[in-house]
Amino acid sequence: MADKEAKSIDQATIEMIEKAAEDGARVVFERAEKMRPCPIGAEGSCCKICAMGPCRVALPKGKTETAEEKRRRVGVCGATPETIAARNFLRMIAAGTASHGDHGRTMAKFLLAVAKGEAPGYEIKDEQKLLQLALDFGVAIGERSNEEIAIDVGEIMLKEFGKQDGELLFLKRAPLKRQELWRKLGVAPEGIDKEVAEAMHRTHMGTDQDYHDLLHNGVKVALADGWGGSMIATEIHDVLFGTPSPVASQINLGVLKEDEVNIIIHGHEPQLAEMMAVVSQDPEMIKYAKSKGAKGINLAGMCCTANEMLMRHGVPIAGNFLQQELAVVTGAVEAMVVDVQCIMQGLVDTANCYHTKVITTDRRAKIQGATHMEFDEHNAAESAKAIIKTAIDNFVNRGKNVRIPSQKTDMIAGFSHETINYLLGGMFRASYRPLNDNIINGRIRGVAGVVGCNNPRVTHDIQLDMVKELIKNDVLVLQTGCMAMASAKAGLMVPEAAAKYAGEGLASVCETVGIPPVLHMGACIDNTRILMAATAMVKDGGLGDDLSDLPVAGAAPEWMSEKALAIGQYFVGSGVFTVFGVTWPTIGNEEVTKLLFKDMEGMYGGMWAFEPDPIKAAKLMIEHIDKKRKALGIDKAGDRVLYDMEMRRELDAV
């Protein structure tokens, strides 16, 4: 088990934190030590939505109060601590949904630009996925070209953002029982932007002041993320860049190269990164790099752009969220190319100690002190070339103070839910049946999604303890975002990890199918792939008729972003038990926390939990999985059906 006081369990990270201190460079770990979290804000007891405040309504630790005192512990407007905590919580979910939604909207517009021939260099890569979307939306296929179909599909998706009436179309993908529940509870979302705007209105001073109502609205907004904005983004990524399939690569700061121009692509929206992957291989560019004394161009990823590029091109990953500044500290990065979300402003300050150029590329995300080179999708190759050339030109400025950690680990990524379907069931009988059968017979105890960020308030990558505990107990783990990277760095994302770390049952299934016990399913936006995988399990039968019946659980043990809260809330609203670590934003308020942690289960079949200890959190998830197994009557092992290659061939031959 990791030392809880340590800054990181990752050696490359520790080495670069030390180098930063030697070099006098500031990084997030140092800032987190100096800036302690505000205890009142951290527990959700500070209201700053109007100028009569900010009002602090926290009950001091260890203090009890009379009913009269509680009645007076309110904001200037009279808002109760419950209203304030719930309002803050809803605003965080709305911000997370807005971020994913804006990403989805950008992709819908981009799909239209590609289909209309306005974005040269891009094309429709996954025709099957496009046609599936056309069928979902009732778009005519016939003899029409992919581009004509894509225009209709893109326009329908774009309308999902501003729709004023009628439910989001992707809600129909959920199990029928879940859809009915959402309608009954009044949380079936309509337009994605409308839900975000309404949440901002509800939380304005003097509007919605019933914490039950506010928290239900939180579910509605979050569902507009998971079954709306995020799902739209994932689907379009797959249509335009290809649905991921297993691909081998490497991860950690050791992927940087001493003798090449190192360019890091960091952020979330993959259009530019996709073009940079192509342009960096252009012989003309490589020749130019050589003319500056480099042996080549080394593209590596950071954060979710890294996941996107890894899954589709095998581009190596330099690290997760807390390693972004540390990549600069190596002294070997010519350019850090960023777009939106999870870019630390501190990057510019760190880069000032080295030669690295921080290049912002998106009109929505500029950073003071960075170089802005706006990406133009209508002229993408030229944009990518200009950025890569800037990086190459910077190679000559690389100083002598270069130290690249040796750590890099092999990994396999690219487990889209379609790929899992195929890997488990075979090409002609793709299905989740073998997964369901192995859950029913007990070889696999259940499935857990372990997702989300890093947070310097806890030891970096400490969640590994959770993942190891889960797989040791035969729980198959699905991962996205920065958590996926932590597991990959520790060697959990190769098939051999099954024999080493997984329980006997899970290991036997992984060995038969040839998959790791921990599957990389993509970027944070791709948590919708986990929703789809869970839905496929319900539809395949034998595990109940709603998502809340499945022996599954979710976690974000090192979360930090508002997007993570939106994701957690759409999983809870979809019926999944979800545990968060680090801190909990309503913990100062008993009533609000009880509604989220307990009462929601009675309404949605899923609820939140907070447990900062990763092993204890894993145990909560396993307990929940066992509870669901019992309810399904599969808590006692039955006949074991394990589909080996021969059985699959027999099935395929039928």
- Write 200-207 long-range contacts (CB < 8 A, 24+): 200/91, 200/94, 202/90, 203/49, 203/87, 203/90, 203/91, 203/94, 204/49, 205/49, 205/50, 205/77, 206/77
Rounded to the nearest 10 degrees, the angle between the axes of helix 176-185 and helix 211-224 is 140
- Neighbouring residues of 616: CB distance < 8 A, sequence distance ≥ 6: none
Closer by beta carbon to ligand BF8, 80 or else 307: 307
Least distance in Å: CB of 339 to ligand BF8?
A: 11
Rounded Cα distance, 485 and 4, in Å? 20
Rounded Cα distance, 577 and 609, in Å? 8
Tell me the Cα Rg of the chain: 24
Residue 231 engages ligand BF8 in binding (rule: CB under 6 A)? no
Task: Give, as ranges, the residues between 122 and 151 that touch ligand BF8 (CB under 6 A).
Answer: none
Contact region with ligand BF8 (CB under 6 A), list: 34-42, 53-61, 205-213, 557-565:
557-565
Residue 28 engages ligand BF8 in binding (rule: CB under 6 A)? no
Least distance in Å: CB of 62 to ligand BF8?
A: 33
Residue 482 engages ligand BF8 in binding (rule: CB under 6 A)? yes
- Write 1-5 long-range contacts (CB < 8 A, 24+): 1/465, 1/615, 2/459, 2/461, 2/462, 2/464, 2/465, 3/459, 4/458, 4/459, 4/462, 5/459
336: helix, coil or strand? strand
Task: Give, as ranges, the residues between 453 and 472 that touch ligand BF8 (CB under 6 A).
Answer: 453
Least distance in Å: CB of 608 to ligand BF8?
A: 18
Closer by beta carbon to ligand BF8, 304 or else 534: 304
Rounded Cα distance, 195 and 192, in Å? 5
Which of 87, 216, 563, 648: binder of ligand BF8 (CB under 6 A)?
563
Q: Judging by DSSP bridges, how do beta strands 55-56 and 552-556 pair with one another?
A: unpaired
Q: Give how far the C-alpha of residue 550 lies from the chain's centroid of Cα atoms, to the nearest Å.
A: 21
Closer by beta carbon to ligand BF8, 452 or else 605: 452
Dihedral of alpha carbons 280, 282, 287, 288, sign? negative
Rounded to the nearest 10 degrees, the angle between the axes of helix 527-540 and helix 433-440 is 70
Least distance in Å: CB of 99 to ligand BF8?
A: 8
Residue 452 engages ligand BF8 in binding (rule: CB under 6 A)? yes
Closer by beta carbon to ligand BF8, 239 or else 523: 523
Least distance in Å: CB of 298 to ligand BF8?
A: 21
Residue 449 engages ligand BF8 in binding (rule: CB under 6 A)? no
Contact region with ligand BF8 (CB under 6 A), list: 7-15, 155-163, 561-569, 639-647:
561-569
Residues 292-311 as x/- pattern, contact with ligand BF8 by CB under 6 A = -----------xx-------
The dihedral over CA atoms of 348, 353, 356, 359, expressed in degrees to the nearest 10, equals: 10
Contact region with ligand BF8 (CB under 6 A), list: 59-67, 349-357, 422-430, 559-567:
559-567
Least distance in Å: CB of 74 to ligand BF8?
A: 34
Buried b (16+ CB within 10 A) or exposed e, 534-556: bbbbbebeebbebbbbbbbbbbb
Least distance in Å: CB of 581 to ligand BF8?
A: 13
Rounded Cα distance, 531 and 222, in Å? 13
By CB atoms closer than 10 A (0-12, 13-18, 19+), residue 439 is buried
Least distance in Å: CB of 304 to ligand BF8?
A: 3
Closer by beta carbon to ligand BF8, 81 or else 568: 568
CB atoms < 10 A from the CB of 304, how many? 31
Which of 122, 321, 584, 610: binder of ligand BF8 (CB under 6 A)?
321
Least distance in Å: CB of 196 to ligand BF8?
A: 17
Which of 270, 425, 481, 551: binder of ligand BF8 (CB under 6 A)?
481
CA-based angle 405:408:411, to the nearest 5?
Answer: 165
Residue 524 engages ligand BF8 in binding (rule: CB under 6 A)? yes
Residue 522 engages ligand BF8 in binding (rule: CB under 6 A)? no
Rounded Cα distance, 94 and 193, in Å? 10
- Among 486, 561, 484, smallest CA distance to 527 is for 484
- Neighbouring residues of 106: CB distance < 8 A, sequence distance ≥ 6: 269
Closer by beta carbon to ligand BF8, 268 or else 624: 268
- Among 371, 341, 368, 340, smallest CA distance to 355 is for 371
Residues 602-641 as x/- pattern, contact with ligand BF8 by CB under 6 A = ----------------------------------------
Give the C-alpha distances (Å, rounded to integers) separating 346 from 234, 301, 352, 370: 29, 18, 10, 11
Least distance in Å: CB of 410 to ligand BF8?
A: 22
**Which residues of 164-244 form beta strands (DSSP E)?**
none
Least distance in Å: CB of 342 to ligand BF8?
A: 3
Residues 334-353 as x/- pattern, contact with ligand BF8 by CB under 6 A = --------x-----------
Closer by beta carbon to ligand BF8, 328 or else 524: 524
Which of 45, 250, 330, 561: binder of ligand BF8 (CB under 6 A)?
561
Residue 165 is given by DSSP the state S
Closer by beta carbon to ligand BF8, 303 or else 475: 303
Residue 550 engages ligand BF8 in binding (rule: CB under 6 A)? no
Task: Give, as ranges, the residues between 260 and 289 that touch ligand BF8 (CB under 6 A).
Answer: 268
Q: Which residues bind ligand BF8 (CB under 6 A)?
A: 268, 303-304, 321, 342, 452-453, 481-482, 523-524, 561, 563-564
